[in-house]
Amino acid sequence: MNRFLITGCALLMAAAGCTAQSSTAGAAATPAATTTGNGADLGPSAMLERKIEVMIRSELNVPPQYAVAIGARQKSDMEGYDTIPVTFSLPGSPSKPETVDFLLSKDGNTLARLSTWDLGTDPMAALPIVGRPVRGNPEAKVTIVNFDDLECPYCARMHAEFFPEALDRYKGLVKFVYVDYPLTEIHPWAMHAAVNANCLAGESGTAYWNYVDYLHTHGEDVTGPDRDLAKSAAVLDKLAEQEGARDHLDETKLQACVAKQDDAKIVAEMKAADKVGVEATPTFFVNGERWAGQLDEPQLWAMIDRALKSEGIAPPASDTNTPATATKSNGAN
């Protein structure tokens, strides 16, 4: 299993579409375990189990098709900590499940295995999504947050194929929120596009999504054959103005916002993203569970199904809900 965990990180970097920066997280308190009337330990509560699973999947980049089972805590030799076995398995695979022992603090706030991870902070609470346009059911209990680069070809594929299929499959059970994470070192017009998209978002969520939809299907047209950045910027501005006119937005306000090209809000959101481990695009969180790079459909469905079950919601039945054997590997752009 150690080999799997180490190679899993390497595979993730190969699978991530476009890469950039670094990570960290926060603090609080959570119920540690459930006990019987005589004080016998029954292991972590369901809520704590979910926190442990989300943390392990995110920090060790466990492929979504793997099942993760949290065992009962046992006494350890380390003061202040219990041992907690975590079993990794691949459903439908002939390979045997493997169990790795982690350390869980007595108060249930810290998980350790060479590294310590804070279980007291809700990953979703740290994501910069307040006020962002929503696609899907605004009241849905499962939120998929996608850190998006409007010039990233891998983001474009996820946007055009997987995310619409997810909305269709799960109907009103999920919602999507996009946060801009333009990798300007490799995508020169991505920041300009993000600023324009935010100018539209400030007046209309519909205009924002229309702009994002267009750019993710016409990126090469914006880049142009001669890859002239000034021409790309002019195209982006024209597209934003056309979208504003179509949605009857305040023309003066929109033109002023586009002309100003104030990227302060986007830069602040990118710094917040770095703190929750975003390094590449696309990177998305399903109720806090993180994945970077592209996925096969069953892998994405597995993440969403887990989040629904943790909310007490039965996922839709489907023959496609079978584990894939490997992620698609894509080089950085």
Domains in the chain: boundaries = 1-26+123-333, 31-120
SS3 324: coil
Q: What is the pTM of this model?
A: 0.69
- Averaged pLDDT score across all residues of the chain: 84
pLDDT digits (tens, 9 = 90+) for 43-55: 558 899 999 999 9
Query: Does residue 117 have a pLDDT over 70?
Result: yes
DSSP 181-218: ---TTT-TTHHHHHHHHHHHHTT-HHHHHHHHHHHTT-
Query: Does residue 143 have a pLDDT over 90?
Result: yes
Q: Tell the CATH topology of 1-26+123-333.
A: Glutaredoxin (3.40.30)
Nearest to 150 by CA among 221, 90, 99: 221
